Amino acid sequence: MEAVQSPIIPVVGELINNNPGTISLGQGVVAYAPPPEAIEFLAKFLAEPTNHLYKAVEGIPPLLTVIAAKLQTFNSIKINTNNSIVVTAGSNMGFINAILAITNIGDEIILNTPYYFNHEMAITMAGCHPVLVETDENYQLRPDAIAQAITSKTKAVVTISPNNPTGVVYSQAALQEVNQICRDHGIYHISDEAYEYFTYNGVKHISPAAFPDSSEYTISLYSLSKAYGFASWRIGYMVIPKHLLVAVKKVQDTNLICPPVVSQYAAWGALQTKPDYLKNHIQAITQVRELVIDSLQSLEELCKIAPAEGAFYFFLKVNTEIDSFELVKRLIQEHQIAVIPGTTFGMNNGCYLRVAYGALQKETVKQGIERLVRGLKKIVNS
C-alpha cells in the first residue's frame, strides 16, 4: 500500500475547507439531481420485503434487461452468448474486478498518460505494474507507441473516452486500431466509458465492444454517477467476455456480495427516464462549457489548452516552473479557486491542471474561471 498514491480529491477538499468561500473546479461530478423515475422506483424496492436480503452477484434481472436494451440502442453492443453484463458498485469497482480477474502478480497494464488516478492505484494494489504510454500533444492516442509497449507480461490496454482528465474524445479509427492491437496480441482492451453521454459539437461516442467480433477480448465499463447525478449511489456496470464471468463473480462476491439493491432499483428507474432528462442537462453543461472556453482564451500565452470535445474537463499545461501541487495550493489560499494538479494523473514533467466544470451553475462557473484566470496570471507572472 505504500507504493499506492494517496487520492488527491480529499487532500484538495481539506484545503478548500480551510479556505472558506473557495469555488471548486476540482471534483468531476454534476450539479443536477437524479431523475424522478429513479426516486419513484425506491417505492418498488421498499414494497418487496425480500429486497432486504442478498441478491444475485451480477445484478437483479430487471436491471440487467434494461441495461441490455440501452447497450444495444446507444452503444450498438448486443448481449449474446459471448459476453455478459455485471452490475457493479460504480465503474471503479468494474475496473478492479477486471484487473483481479485477468492478471497474475507482476503482470503489466498499459495506461495512456495522463491517466485516471484510480486506475493506476488499482493496478498497483493488485501487485501489477502500470506501463505508461504518452499521448500526443492534444492528448490523443498513439497506437504505434501502445503496440511498442506490449511485452510478454502485458494483459490489457486501458482507454478512456470521453477522457478523464483531458476531456478529449478518441476517434473510431484510433479505438479500432487499439482494439485490433489487443486482438493481435491476445490481450484485453479495457474501455472506460463513464462519460459516454458527454460529447459536444456533434461528436459521437464510440464503444469498442461494438466493433465486429470484439466481445471475446473487450471489457467495457459504465457508470450512472455522472449522467444521472448518482455519484453517491455507487452503481455502474461492466460488459465482459463470457469466459471472464466466473472470475469476475468471485471478485465481486468477495468484495461486495451483491451490488446495493436499493441503488439497482434507482438505476432501473433512471435507465427508463425520458430522453429529455439527459438532453436538457447536457445542454446546460454545454452552455457552461462555452463560458469556460471564452474565459480561458485570455490564458493563451500562459497555458496550452488542448481541444476537448467530451466529458466536462479541460487539461491545462501551464508555462511555469512552479510545481503543480504548489500552484494548486496557492490558487486556493490566495485566490479561492480549486483545481486538481496534473501530477495525480501521471504528468510529472511540467505543470498541468485539470479544470472540471460539470458541478457548477453558469454564474458560479463564470466567477470561478475569472478567479482562475486572475490567479494564474498573478502567480505565474510574479
- Specify whether the CB–CB gap between 270 and 254 falls below 8 A: no
Instruction: Show the CA angle centred on residue 77, arms to residues 206 and 146, nearest 5°.
Output: 45
Q: Would the pLDDT of 6 be above 90?
A: no
CB 184 within 8 A of CB 220: no
**37-270 has which CATH code?**
3.40.640.10
Residues spanned by CATH 3.40.640.10 within the chain?
Answer: 37-270
Length of the chain in terms of residues written? 382
Q: How far is CA 91 from CA 120, 203, 364, in A?
A: 14, 23, 29
Q: Look at residue 359 in the predicted model and tell me its pLDDT.
A: 87
pLDDT tens digits for range 192-214: 999 999 999 999 999 999 999 99
Distance in angstroms (rounded) separating the CA atoms of residues 81 and 255: 26
Task: List pLDDT tens digits, range 48-104.
Answer: 999 999 999 999 999 999 999 999 999 999 999 999 999 999 999 999 999 999 999
- Residue 215's pLDDT is 96
Q: Are 332 and 19 in contact (CB under 8 A)?
A: yes
Tell me what the mean pLDDT of segment 301-330 comes to: 95
Q: What is the pLDDT of residue 9?
A: 85
Q: Does position 324 have pLDDT exceeding 90, yes or no?
A: yes
Across residues 269-278, what is the average pLDDT? 95
Residue from 235, 167, 238, 196 nearest 74 by CA: 196
Percentage of the chain exceeding pLDDT 70: 100
Q: Is 8-33+275-381 assigned to CATH 3.40.50.300?
A: no
List, in order, residues 6 or more apart from 105 with CB less than 8 Å away: 126, 127, 128
Model pLDDT, residue 246: 98
| DSSP-assigned letter for residue 72 | I
pLDDT single digits (tens) 213-251? 999 999 999 999 999 999 999 999 999 999 999 999 999
Res. 28: pLDDT tops 90: no
Q: Which pLDDT score, from 0 to 100, does residue 365 have?
A: 86
pLDDT value at residue 300: 86
Q: What mean pLDDT value characterizes the chain? A: 96
Residues of the chain with CATH 3.90.1150.10: 8-33+275-381
What pLDDT, on a 0 to 100 scale, did the predictor assign at position 27?
A: 80
Does residue 258 register a pLDDT over 90? yes
Please report, in angstroms and rounded to a whole number, the separation of the first and last CA atoms in the chain.
39
